[in-house]
Amino acid sequence: EEEQEEEKEEEEEEKERRMGTQSNTLSSATYLPSDLAPIRICPCSLSPVSLSADVTYVLWMFLVSLAWNWNAWFIPVRWAFPYQTTENIYYWLLTDYLCDLIYILDITIFQPRLQFIRGGDIVTDKKETRKNYIKTKRFKFDVASLVPLELFYFLTGINPMLRLPRLLKINSFFEFNERLEAILTKAYIYRVIRTTTYLLYCLHCNTCLFYWYSALDGLGSTSWVYNGEGNSYIRCYYYAVKTLITIGGVPEPTTLFEMVFQLVNYFVGVFVFSIMIGQMRDVVGAATAAQTYYRSCVDNTIKYMSSYRIPRDVQNRVKTWYNYTWQSQGMLDEQELLVQLPDKMRLDIAIDVNYSIVSKVPLFQGCDRQMIFDMLKSLRSVVYLPGDYVCKKDEVGREMYIIKEGEVQVVGGPDGKTVFVTLRAGSVFGEISLLAVGGGNRRTANVVAHGFANLFILDKKDLNEILVHYPESKKLLRKKARLNKMALHIEHHYVEELCEFPATILCMFIVITGFISLIVVNCLNHRKMLNKGKNPEPKQEPKEPPRVPAAPVRTETPRLLRAALEMTERSSGLKGALAKVKEKTNKSSISLQVNQL
């Protein structure tokens, strides 16, 4: 009842908090005129703390980035090439002012609502966020990017170079790149594309400069400048690629300006391409860092095994383990990735990944939920190959195993290959030795991986440290482990007897057959002796002195029967009983013969 009351109170508090949040949001949002239904245009605050939390802000930054790229790519083209004419000037101006509108909305609506951290607390108040934005350098650059130099159009005409201040909003472009990389699962692909775009932009600017000088000096005036044939942008871009990448094959410069321009192109090309190649190497290296580490581990392990002349079959099993672990997990040790994270974050990740498996284990049913959470942080994943012994009988138990994927088999019997039971995903074994039930910590059976098995391992030291804080769960685990031990012992005993049942039946059949044959032989001997004891009919023969009848020779026990008796005596412990029966039988036959005498 107390828990239900607490839950009701929590629900009421949650409702009140939501109502308060909604009222604050409604009071601080921007609306259309009062005669229309209120429609929210922009949220009261945006969170830049979490790079991927607020999708609205990321989408808006995408629009701002598009506006900046429009200015960065088309201002040089419109300045150098004759693409801006009186027929299409209105389309160019319309797009320019649309980009300016995006800049204005960003400065007046979105940026003043960005949350910030002050003293470890996230500030969401609208007035405070506006004051913080005005104090930053970014605000000054944003305002400078909107300087209305277009007013000089009335003096100089429509000159695109007057829009160069729009490029001062480059911080928005870099911020969008960071947030997009935080959202993407394979960010290295975007980094490669972005680095390639930087290179293309350098070639684009060089193309515009080359055409500008060619038009200024006169198209086709020298062999070095553009001759005015074909598509002007494509021809100049081809020249820029050959010059900036220092491929060669360009005409020799003739004037001083041409020489200086060519030298600047060579120097800039060397530095730009060295930087680009270095960035490409870093991007590719970061993308393949895990695979490089995997290859390094495999090569070092093979080198170590070869130096110590490890058998070839062992080396093949090690290679198979590396290959399967990498293909199934994408890493060799999951714990290495989580070491640097705080405990709370590691717990959240462990709950999302492993709680669905551990919570279904019957051994942990009824245990404290927080105890299971603490145990999740101590689990480590290990892969076993087909035929690998996970644990052997009579070993000292220091770990408990939870099957994540695959199957393992409990084997035993006289040959050590009889399968007692097959354990699948979600099963637990090793808890009897780990909890030292019955005063022992030895393994009670052999466990072999049937195929590729991925197991969670919990160390005894870690489990004891956890159970210290949960005594009730400790008692429950010990009780369940004790019951599991009894059930396992009964099952093993039953299976062993079942395995020996055919041999026992055969031995008993041979023994019973031997007894029956022995009784039949004795009966026949007795009958012969009784028949010899009768008085014969009188005959006309000379009388001879009476002879004492000799004792008949008893037939020897057959070898097969003797071997069966000996094996039965050893296996069933009836050696004394069979000897007594044998002795009594001999005594009875001898006494009968004496009586006949």
Q: For the chain, how far is it from start to end, CA to CA, in angstroms?
A: 99
Domain-embedded: residue 122: yes
The pLDDT value recorded for residue 465 is 87
The pLDDT value recorded for residue 526 is 60
> Dihedral (C-alpha) 567, 569, 570, 572: value to the nearest 10 degrees?
110
Listed in order, strand segments (DSSP E) in 387-506 are 389-391, 399-405, 408-412, 418-423, 428-429, 446-449, 453-459
The three-state DSSP-derived secondary structure of 186-211 is CHHHHHHHHHHHHHHHHHHHHHHHHH
Domain containing residue 351: CATH number = 2.60.120.10
Give the up-direction half-sphere exposure of residue 575: CA atoms within 13 A in the CB hemisphere.
7
The pLDDT value recorded for residue 531 is 58
d(CA 341, CA 325): 23
d(CA 104, CA 100): 6
Cβ atoms of 81 and 232 within 8 Å: the answer is yes
The pLDDT value recorded for residue 299 is 92
Structure tokens at 369: 């939920």
The pLDDT value recorded for residue 167 is 94
Cβ atoms of 284 and 278 within 8 Å: the answer is no
Cα 111 to chain centroid distance, Å, stands at 39
Structure tokens at 419: 């399968």
Exposure letters 353-390 (e unless 16+ CB within 10 A, then b): ebeebbeebebbeebbeebbbbbbbbbebbbbeeeeeb
The pLDDT value recorded for residue 305 is 92
d(CA 372, CA 402): 13
Identify the domain boundary among 498, 524, 539: 498
Residues 60, 66, 70, CA angle at the centre, nearest 5°?
150
Domain-embedded: residue 200: no
Identify the domain boundary among 119, 152, 183: 183
d(CA 50, CA 182): 9
> Dihedral (C-alpha) 452, 455, 459, 460: value to the nearest 10 degrees?
-100
The pLDDT value recorded for residue 100 is 95
The pLDDT value recorded for residue 146 is 93
Distances (CA, A) of 263 to 82, 252, 257: 27, 12, 10
Domain-embedded: residue 310: no
Domain-embedded: residue 47: yes
481 in the Ramachandran plot: left (φ > 0), alpha (ψ -120 to 50) or beta? Answer: alpha
d(CA 447, CA 415): 14
Identify the domain boundary among 456, 476, 498: 498
Structure tokens at 164: 């160069």
Cβ atoms of 561 and 515 within 8 Å: the answer is no
The three-state DSSP-derived secondary structure of 274-343 is HHHHHHHHHHHHHHCHHHHHHHHHHHHHHHHHHHCCCCHHHHHHHHHHHHHHHHHHCCCCCHHHHCCCCH
d(CA 113, CA 47): 9
Domain-embedded: residue 490: yes
d(CA 388, CA 367): 32
d(CA 377, CA 359): 14
The pLDDT value recorded for residue 592 is 37
Exposure letters 299-316 (e unless 16+ CB within 10 A, then b): eebeeebeeeeeeeeeee
For strand 453-459 and strand 418-423, is the pairing parallel, antiparallel, or unpaired?
A: unpaired
Give the up-direction half-sphere exposure of residue 536: CA atoms within 13 A in the CB hemisphere.
7
Domain-embedded: residue 361: yes
| Structural domain count, the chain | 2
Q: What is the residue range of 159's domain?
A: 21-183
Full-model pTM: 0.62
Structure tokens at 49: 């703390």
d(CA 228, CA 247): 23
Distances (CA, A) of 62 to 55, 66, 145, 271: 11, 6, 18, 30
Exposure letters 79-109 (e unless 16+ CB within 10 A, then b): bbbeebeeeeeeebeeebeebbebbebbbee
Structure tokens at 476: 């429950």
Q: What are 63's strand-pairing partners?
A: none
Domain-embedded: residue 202: no
Q: What are 458's strand-pairing partners?
A: 400
Provide the residue-wise pLDDT of the chain in tens; the chain has 597 residues: 566 666 666 666 665 555 544 443 333 333 333 333 333 334 556 655 554 446 888 899 999 999 999 999 999 999 999 898 888 999 999 999 999 999 999 999 999 988 888 887 888 888 888 999 999 999 999 999 999 998 898 888 889 999 999 999 999 999 999 888 888 888 888 888 898 898 899 999 999 999 998 888 888 788 888 888 888 999 999 988 888 877 777 788 888 888 888 888 888 888 888 888 888 888 888 878 888 888 899 999 999 999 988 899 899 989 998 988 888 877 777 777 777 778 788 888 888 888 887 877 777 888 888 888 888 888 888 889 888 898 888 888 788 888 888 899 988 877 778 888 888 888 888 777 666 655 556 777 889 998 888 888 888 888 888 888 888 888 888 887 777 666 555 555 554 554 444 545 555 666 576 667 667 666 666 666 555 554 444 444 444 554 544 444 444 445 545 555 565 555 444 445 445 545 554 544 444 343 333
Cβ atoms of 426 and 362 within 8 Å: the answer is no
Domain-embedded: residue 529: no
Q: What is residue 150's DSSP assignment?
A: G
